[in-house]
Structure 1
């Protein structure tokens, strides 16, 4: 989907939290700054000159987006740190720096803050071109690190394999309980699976397919993140146990209306609230950042993806599922040999 970075703080923060994309953007941008405390920084006047706007324009953005810019590396130097910076400026040279000699406070932008302001300044054609380059580099970086696509990026997480395997056991417990305890035709499996999906992430299976553009042959569960799989497993295991108990108490299979009422009571338990909130946040936020997929029903749960999630799904510890299966096979083989 088309992204307007000037109007989307979440999209901006997703880019600024992605260390792999930042490294590629920094190479492409080639910004020449001032070395200070292990970073490269630029002054407000340099930023305004680069984007061909007035320093007052930059001040306006600092006034309106100060918290965001400070979070991403903008800061005002005073006291001893300012003295140290002035010494660096002297060593760095350049008459254009003379205006800072008498100042008692000086704002500086590191590279993240520079990109942040680039994603805000709507008046600058140069900033607009940089924003397009940023979006292209972010997409290319994620695709390169995932082998060309993100539909199954969830499988690169080291937690996915165990959650998927364990989830299959709980799924069988659930389908067995539906088979034995619910007086409905075979469509009951789809009906009550959908109830769980709607309870957790507000979408039925076909709606989820549409958001992720899945083919009919593709399995929905293969695209779920580990946290979502774990919560579905908890629902399926817990509701299966409840069905079996009620079935024993009644001495016969439960009707559709009885099962609906039982599920409504089951899903309304307060213990689910923090787990459901977390699952909705993870699904909505990660899918927007990694898959460019917007779950409209979960829009209020979207927050920026944190750096650790970029490490988890496209970092050095993330791996293709085939590699993880191969590793798991070797582990099982060694355990068998020990036995």
Structure 2
């Protein structure tokens, strides 16, 4: 999916919140500045020179995007912090004229590397900024792919919670299909039909639509791509609705018709306690799929938000791992769960 970073605050923030990609971009650029309190800082004049624009142009972007740039590392130094920074300047690569002017100023705006990248994703007048944006997108894709073994379709399985959630949902799935078998007077079509009802209720897509968005092949299972939280919510639906079917079956003393099951499901999904869970998990699913899989769920696009750094650590950081490793780690947990059955 083509991304226009100058137009999309979410795409910009997803790059800036990805510490692994930012580190690779910094290595690639080799940006020089002043080391100050563990950060690489550059001056407005240095930034203007890099992008081959005037300092006034930088001022305009600062004025029009003040909150975003401050959030991502732009800072105005005053007082003690400014005095300490001025002392650090003697070791930095600063033009003599700029150095003299800085020594006289009562306050000074500085960009750390994330703020510098943020500005690069905003400036439209600079050819250098355009080229940097292209390089950034390539580096982000390469970084995610390299940390996930070449593909992101199953990035969900790198989460340490995935294996247990998958195993638990599998058990509730069996309860659900057993209830459909024993309590609903329909043919085998009922299994995919009511599975789709759950999917549509949670993330507004039938299995076929979801498969198309994630570009799944015929033999690839949808459930294998779900994040652990989505599996947990599906399991809750399956468990709860299976119990309702069994209750109604006992009360009627016969199998339910499709009309009765549809009406029962409408009542079930309308229960108020589902709303906050569904809202939360739609946001997670839509935001993660856009950031990691470059997959946009059109029906969930209003739920897309930038991922925080913790999300990148969770799925592509040192704590994430391949599925076979997760299975080994989870064997004891799964054994205990099975013993409770």
TM-score, normalised on structure 2?
Answer: 0.96
1:210 is matched with which residue?
Answer: 212
Superposed CA RMSD = 1.7
Q: Displacement of 1:333 after TM fit?
A: 8.7
Match of 1:279 in 2: 281
Partners of 2:46 and 2:166 in 1: how far apart? 51
Counting only pairs closer than 5 Å after superposition, residues 1-339 of structure 1 correspond to structure 2 as: 1-92=1-92, 94-95=95-96, 96-329=98-331
For the residue of structure 2 that corresponds to 1:216, the secondary structure is coil
More divergent stretch after superposition (54-63 vs 196-205): 54-63
**Aligned-partner SS, 1:89:** helix
2:164/2:333 contact within 8 Å kept: no
What is the TM-score when the length of structure 1 is the normalising length?
0.96
SS at match of 2:6: helix
Q: Secondary structure at the match of 1:199?
A: helix
Map Cα deviations across residues 228-281 of structure 1 (whole Å, 9 max, x no partner): 000000000000001100111111111111111110110011100111011101
Deviates more, 1:53-62 or 1:140-149: 53-62
For the 8 Å contact 2:82–2:108, the answer to whether it is kept is yes
Q: How far apart, in 1, do the equivalents of 2:102 and 2:251 lie? A: 82
CA-CA distance at 1:322 after TM superposition = 1.1
3-state secondary structure, aligned to 1:107: strand
Once the 2 structures are TM-superposed, how far is the Cα of residue 90 of structure 1 from its aligned partner?
Answer: 3.4
> For structure 2, which runs of at least 5 residues remain unmatched after alignment?
none
User: Partners of 1:105 and 1:320 in 2: how far apart?
Assistant: 49
Aligned equivalents of 2:91 and 2:325: distance in 1? 51
User: Are 2:164 and 2:330, in contact at CA under 8 Å, matched by a contact in 1?
Assistant: no
The alignment partner of 2:294 has SS state of: coil
Q: Decide whether the 8 Å contact of 2:34 with 2:91 is kept in 1.
A: no
Deviation sequence 1:272-323 (CA, Å, 0-9, x none): 0111011101110000000000000000000001111111110111110011
Q: Which moved more, 1:85-94 or 1:175-184?
A: 85-94
Task: Report deviation, 1:101.
Answer: 2.1
Give the number of equivalent residue pairs.
336
CA distance in 1, matches of 2:332, 2:240: 33
